[in-house]
Structure 1
Amino acid sequence: MTESLETTTDTTDSGPGGYAAARLRLLQEGSRPGPPRRSALAELTDQWLAALLTGGAQTAGIGRGVALVAVGGYGRGELSPRSDLDVLLLHDGSADRSALAALADHVWYPVWDMGLALDHSVRTPDEARATAAEELKVQLGLLDARHIAGDQALTADLRTTVLADWRAQAPRRLPELHALCQERAERHGELQFLLEPDLKEARGGLRDATALRAIAASWLADAPREGLDDARRRLLDARDALHLSTGRAADRLALQEQDQVADALGLLDADALLRQIYESARIISYASDVTWREVERVLRARSAARPRLRGLLGGLGGRSGGRAGAGGGADTGERSPLAEGVVEQDGEVVLARTARPDRDPVLTLRAAAAAAQAGLPLSPHAVRRLSTAARPLPVPWPPEAREQLITLLGAGESTVGVWEALEAEGLITRLLPDWERVRCRPQRNAVHRWTVDRHLVETAVRASAFSRRVGRPDLLLVAALLHDIGKGWPGDHSVAGETIARDVAARIGFDRADVAVLAALVRHHLLLVETATRRDLDDPATVRSVAEAVGGATTLELLHALTEADALATGPAAWSAWRGSLVADLVKRVSAVLAGEPADDWSTPQQTTAEQERLAIEAWRTGGPVLALHARSEAMAPAEAGLLTGGLPADGLLTAAAEGPPEEGTTGPEPIGVELLIAVPDQPGVLPTAAGVLALHRLTVRAADLRALELPSALDAAGAAAGVLLLSWRVAAEYGSLPQAARLRNDLVRALDGSLDIVARLAEREAAYRKYPRRRGVHAPPPRVTVAPGSSQLATVIEVRAQDAPGLLHRIGRALEHTGVAVRSAHASTLGANAVDAFYVTDSSGAPLKPMHAAEVAQKVERALTSPSDA
């Protein structure tokens, strides 16, 4: 029935002031957040716009043939406090264009005056259909078209035709929509793993939930419904709270806003908020995967049905025994056995007709292992049936169950999808109850790419590639799955994880010896990388302490593989060929100790490479610094490589040598520009001076190592100085190109002889930086400086953990110098935005510091870093 504009009832003041006041009252109400508030806000806005349309129609002299239609999120009645208003002014073409323009202005301008974002258009039904046929986003918005005011029949006809067009065009448009979703996922990432997620655009966000509605409207496929509406509601609630907290139309949940949003939603803290968002995103992502797979299957079946139907009509015959596919396509339904009670059908793993989950407690793991090994997805129907009917496994597990778990974990990349399918129906926590504490748990560390649970699965995936280099791959895979299981508990996660690992290992049926090895792997999974990058490997106490902790060659072999798998699964910043070489060197030394060989001692001359010896000799001969530069990544631009070689002095001491391609199993070219070696005659202040020069040239220090080199005996006899200090740096340009090598050396010479005031130059640069406004960011925790007890018998180890910043190593070096201690060696590394440095220091006599003195040095360095002006 056609509704006259003159009969539309105005239930609110059509002026911006009346609507604004009513809107403000609604948003300030705390009694009905969530869906009730969104619906009330949409209804209030409907009334206001309806009144505007009525008044404008009377002014323009238009009686019938126009309608105001809400589309998109507004059409769904999902108005967040700062949402755009997506509105279509629909007309039948009978009104005068000037009158229609006046009507549109009468509706649009009050919205703009309110400061609300408006996405508007004026079209006839035919124009709307034509635009939708050309632009997928327009068509998606029209699928949610909802009548606001005016000619209701006009809106109803548009909805009917748009839905009919969508269903008719679905075989062509759904692949286009899928490509759009994939492109958006690549651009914005996965919502369930991001520390600052975009609630709308990221994969698993509100856009994907809308895409699932569009697929359902096509009648080709439908998403799994369980939990989907709740997941979508939670994301909308979080967006509402974000809008109210920030006063902006924001979809990205920044770190500094998460506590406010959590409080507005009545959640404990920001971690609880993120976990809830991740759980919601995981439900939407899994539903999307399942639904898009079904769409592809249906479209494939339809395509195959056409030639089959032509063959049947032509009397060529066809295979019998097929079943009807969804959407009308025929499907042969052939089944190929994969394991006992498990078959493959239509590209998915399903349960055999004779399978009895209620009598076969291992069936869940057997089906999962078969799916992962075959590289096929588990059918949602199969997973659901297993969830409702499968018997629990006895404790301890039977050997077959343990073997199937290990087979699942060793399948590589295909393990992830199968694991997620089991997670979606709660089967993982049923198998491993301790998993619940790490499920969807965020990791507030920029180095980590994944949530805790996904990181554990990714580590197992990485470990599967190392199964041929260890004698017990089963223990490696299970340790990979459990190494961070303690992060769901308070305290040191390695200590808590050791206890949990013992319980889980016994539960799944390992014997006492294997349980002990798994517990040791979990307890010490960070031991090798932390020791290799933060301790002096030439100190025999370092190697002996690792050997005592590991206990045996088998555990060491497994720990080496686990360390690399863990780092590779963490993210690009956690592993490199350089870190790998340090860990391998440590493992070699520990292996020798476990085999009964004595540990190297600082009192014996350290082995040096030919290049290091050459640098040391030249530093002794010239009495000044000698530098060597090595390109560490083939990704370096030719122009940068040219700068390294362009300013070389005639003696050729500055070199630039490109390395070959990365080793197999590494993450590819490292994000580090060059390795810089500096040899300097031993003298006070070398470390802070060299670090200051690098900072002055805008070089970011990714890793650093300082140690003293013994000169060849022939030079000692000739009256050489006491020794030469060798500094190894891994550096990259903060921005722009790398500095010229000659300028770097000249500034280092000037800084060492006192003619270049590094402190003043760095202060000038910092003052210049303060002139520019900086974006609001996360407030970094304060630096922490501690004494590492028992780390060395020949020196005291001072550990510094701080936010990485230009000139940080220079400030640390100066602070140590002011305390009067001697830095015997230094080992610095940068993980994401965090600097973790260790300094081996002695007193003036070369002995370790007394406990009170060491604590005092740590306090002074910490104070200097907290207040850099005191350094």
Structure 2
Amino acid sequence: AERVWYPLWDAGLKLGHQVGTVAQLLDVGAENLETATSLLAARVVAASSADGEALVDDLAERALAQWKGRSRQNLDQLQGAVAERHARFGEVAFLLEPDIKEARGGLRDVHSLFWVEQATVPILREAESAGLAAAFEMLLEVRVELHRLTGQRADKLLLELQDDVAAALGLADADVLMAEVSAAGRTIAWTGEGAARRTLRASRRRGPMKALSGIRRREVAPGLVLDDGRLELTDDADLGDPLLVLRYAASAARHDAYLQRGSLERLADHAEPLPVPWPAEARGLFVDLLAAGPAAIPVIEDLDQVGLFVLLVPEWEPCRSRPQRNAYHRFTVDRHLMEAAAEASRLVGQVERPDLLLVGALFHDIGKGYPGDHTVVGVDLLTTIAARMGYEGDDVDLLVAMVEHHLLLPDVATRRDLDDNGTIRQVADAVGGTVLLGLLGALTEADSIATGPSAWSNWKAGLVRELVERTSHVLGGGDVGDVVGGSFPDAAQQALLDDGTFVVRGEGLELTVVAADRPGTFAKVAGVLALNGADVLGASAHSEHGRALSVFRVGSVLGGEPDWARIDEQVNRALAGRLAVAARLGDRSRTYRPIHLTARPARPTMTVDNVSSATATVLEVTCPDGVGVLYRITRAFAELDLDIVRAHVQTLGSDVIDAFYVRDQFGAKITDPEHLAEVELSVLRWVAVDF
């Protein structure tokens, strides 16, 4: 046996091994799930005689009999192992770098379905088998190419390998590859979920719950019967009713039930598009479906898997399984839209038009499935969708405006000065009324939470809430001067400025620095913070009488406060010209080079906004994240003697979008095109610096 094992191990192959009699192997299989499932696939690789082949055949036959005889225990263990594996590896359909073997919807799930069928009667429906086979083949081809490209056993489809795998499979690009991988993962996960439910129902009918079978059945609507958490069509359901699909879906979501696969197949075979425009009842049922919140997601997924959701909304097709391929977004486009609508269902009590909030949330990113600017495309698409659904006049205008302005509040709140009159007026002019403002406020929260954990925080929520409140005051006829100005510097900060002493004070997650007003002060402090792993989330600056106040808000470092004593000492040295900030950042950059989890890092750009503020020029810089990027940008400003009044720093996945309110050395806005061109040249060169 060792003469077989060692050459395989030397070749880098994974090999599980066991030596024993048939009885011994069966004993191990009775106690160990992995061994038991391996024995189900026992086959002859090599045998010295016909007796050897017969021995393996006997092992396989007896292993199958033992597996069936222990089906209850085996399936319980298998269910636990599958759940643990899914929790560990996530989902193939939605991960930026999925493990195509072990994650939910991966190859191992297909193996698990085979093992379940070996323990019970066949559980896959005929309509499911073909889709499952195609999905399995797709992921298997990807895995083969992964192994070939890496020269080793690799199951994780890393970002840097996706283009090569796509090319090897003859696909146009990695986006197409990941869409197909996502679709395959969804199909496998969906099929497995249905099979698990049928297995559970079958075991209940054989077990102590058998006596209750049928007692829980009740008709919840004409043609719809709820049976132990499953909603099914009755035999006499009117399949010619064009509203039956929506009635079935809305009822299932309302009762938090799942759709019976046989009923879904019947509907898919007979359903026709709704009349255009939709009847009011159809529109109401669609809103009812979305209002069910998280319970609506598996229902929409069921409809989508059999082609019924695209029948309702044809524009949905290009969004299906479409990857976003960055760490900031945790879901594909279609799943993100479902999640946003589910999150919006919690917020319907905050708006005047709950129905528009739900529909707008579901379609706010519909343009991402199409070429071009997704907002511009989405406006055109939703105009068509809203009219088809039967919305008219002002309702269509509101829905379209939700798509057009769905990024307005988060962008302004995190990148503009809310104490500037121009900021509030600009938002008020864009929104035009409190109804839309309320819808956008709720949509911002729902969209952000559905995007991913880094997209919504107490800080961002507070800024958006403050922006909505101030804008609402102005839209209600109030004076903008009532709600802006005066918050920075506050009385305590002004006292520090007036005191005339040098101050470096770190408390909690905030650093306050008062020093002589010299070009480069802001950059040096930002550099010291970067040296200590403290990410700057926002900063404000104010200068008068030759002194400058800078306040930096930072993220936690390893879950706690930064080492303020060390930072204090280094800031003092940096401002005294006794710390080589750039050189030290170079050393740190080479040691802690960030991993860019995005398919397309942001191209460095600088945009100029001389409208939002009456007193400063807003420069917005977008670039890939990296060690000391804020230092590099502000070092570029210092080179041209620009005064930073306020900074809003934001990291989106692997990219940063930083906005700076700046003035020239005379305290004026920068309007000269040649001067602005020099600023842009300096910024883009410094951003590109590789320490």
Partner of 2:556: 732
- Give yes or no for the alignment of 1:606 onto 2:471: no
- Give yes or no for the alignment of 1:143 onto 2:40: yes
- Report how far residue 395 of structure 1 moved: 1.1
Of 75, 84, 87, 1:186 maps to: 87
Partner of 2:496: 618
Provide Cα deviations, 1:702-760, integer angstroms capped at 9, x if missing partner.
Answer: x1121428xxxxxxxxxx84775342412222x486444344334333433x2432xx1
Kindly report which structure 2 residues correspond to 1:667-678, keeping only aligned pairs within 5 A, or say none: 674-678=509-513
Check conservation: 2:229, 2:256, Cα contact below 8 A: no
**CA distance in structure 1 between the aligned counterparts of 2:401 and 2:18, rounded to whole angstroms:** 66
Partner of 1:348: 230
Provide Cα deviations, 1:409-443, integer angstroms capped at 9, x if missing partner.
Answer: 11121111111111111111111101011100001
Of 528, 531, 537, 1:693 maps to: 528
Provide Cα deviations, 1:673-702, integer angstroms capped at 9, x if missing partner.
Answer: x3444455655433212212212323222x
**CA distance in structure 2 between the aligned counterparts of 1:367 and 1:391, rounded to whole angstroms:** 14
Distance 1:405 1:143, change over 3 A: same
Of 289, 295, 300, 2:199 maps to: 295
**CA distance in structure 1 between the aligned counterparts of 2:485 and 2:348, rounded to whole angstroms:** 38
Partner of 1:332: 214
Distance 1:230 1:333, change over 3 A: farther
Partner of 1:469: 350
Distance 1:627 1:111, change over 3 A: closer
Distance 1:222 1:121, change over 3 A: same
Provide Cα deviations, 1:535-567, integer angstroms capped at 9, x if missing partner.
Answer: 122222222221222121100000000001000
- Give yes or no for the alignment of 1:800 onto 2:628: no
**CA distance in structure 2 between the aligned counterparts of 1:577 and 1:683, rounded to whole angstroms:** 34
Structure 2 unaligned blocks of 5 or more: none
- TM-score, scaled relative to structure 2: 0.93
Kindly report which structure 2 residues correspond to 1:554-565, keeping only aligned pairs within 5 A, or say none: 554-565=435-446
Aligned residue for 1:171, secondary structure, equals helix
Kindly report which structure 2 residues correspond to 1:853-864, keeping only aligned pairs within 5 A, or say none: 853-864=675-686
Aligned residue for 1:193, secondary structure, equals coil
**CA distance in structure 2 between the aligned counterparts of 1:690 and 1:792, rounded to whole angstroms:** 25
2:332 partner letter: T
Aligned residue for 1:191, secondary structure, equals coil
Provide Cα deviations, 1:144-191, integer angstroms capped at 9, x if missing partner.
Answer: 222334332222222221111111111111121011111111111011
2:23 partner letter: D
Provide Cα deviations, 1:479-536, integer angstroms capped at 9, x if missing partner.
Answer: 1000110001122111111111111111111112111100000111011000111112
Aligned residue for 1:120, secondary structure, equals coil
- Report how far residue 355 of structure 1 moved: 1.0
Partner of 1:202: 103
Check conservation: 2:223, 2:236, Cα contact below 8 A: yes
**CA distance in structure 2 between the aligned counterparts of 1:739 and 1:355, rounded to whole angstroms:** 65
Provide Cα deviations, 1:80-106, integer angstroms capped at 9, x if missing partner.
Answer: xxxxxxxxxxxxxxxxxxxxxxxx234
Aligned residue for 1:121, secondary structure, equals coil
Larger of the two Rg values belongs to structure: 1
Partner of 1:513: 394
Provide Cα deviations, 1:276-300, integer angstroms capped at 9, x if missing partner.
Answer: 0111110100011111111222222
Equivalent pairs counted in the alignment come to 682
**CA distance in structure 2 between the aligned counterparts of 1:795 and 1:169, rounded to whole angstroms:** 75
Partner of 1:817: 638
Distance 1:854 1:776, change over 3 A: closer
Alignment identity in percent? 42
**CA distance in structure 2 between the aligned counterparts of 1:551 and 1:855, rounded to whole angstroms:** 34
- Give yes or no for the alignment of 1:706 onto 2:527: no
**CA distance in structure 2 between the aligned counterparts of 1:274 and 1:619, rounded to whole angstroms:** 55
- Give yes or no for the alignment of 1:534 onto 2:356: no
1:582 partner letter: L
2:668 partner letter: A
Distance 1:425 1:773, change over 3 A: closer
Partner of 1:497: 378
Partner of 1:5: none
**CA distance in structure 2 between the aligned counterparts of 1:361 and 1:278, rounded to whole angstroms:** 31
- Report how far residue 764 of structure 1 moved: 3.2
Aligned residue for 2:93, secondary structure, equals helix
Check conservation: 2:214, 2:227, Cα contact below 8 A: no
Aligned residue for 2:535, secondary structure, equals strand
Check conservation: 2:527, 2:581, Cα contact below 8 A: no
Provide Cα deviations, 1:791-811, integer angstroms capped at 9, x if missing partner.
Answer: 334322211112222322112
**CA distance in structure 1 between the aligned counterparts of 2:538 and 2:339, rounded to whole angstroms:** 29
1:687 partner letter: F
Q: Which region of structure 1 is more displaced relative to structure 2, 373-382 or 204-213?
A: 373-382
Distance 1:774 1:708, change over 3 A: closer
**CA distance in structure 2 between the aligned counterparts of 1:743 and 1:620, rounded to whole angstroms:** 26
**CA distance in structure 2 between the aligned counterparts of 1:775 and 1:690, rounded to whole angstroms:** 25
- TM-score, scaled relative to structure 1: 0.75
Distance 1:863 1:775, change over 3 A: closer
Distance 1:749 1:106, change over 3 A: closer
Partner of 2:282: 401
**CA distance in structure 1 between the aligned counterparts of 2:538 and 2:663, rounded to whole angstroms:** 19
**CA distance in structure 1 between the aligned counterparts of 2:505 and 2:547, rounded to whole angstroms:** 17
Check conservation: 1:334, 1:346, Cα contact below 8 A: yes
**CA distance in structure 1 between the aligned counterparts of 2:448 and 2:665, rounded to whole angstroms:** 39
Check conservation: 1:786, 1:799, Cα contact below 8 A: yes
Of 155, 168, 174, 1:264 maps to: 168
Provide Cα deviations, 1:458-485, integer angstroms capped at 9, x if missing partner.
Answer: 0001000001111101000001000110
**CA distance in structure 2 between the aligned counterparts of 1:456 and 1:866, rounded to whole angstroms:** 35
Distance 1:771 1:426, change over 3 A: closer
User: Larger RCO: Structure 1 or Structure 2 (Cα < 8 Å, ≥ 6 residues apart)?
Assistant: 2
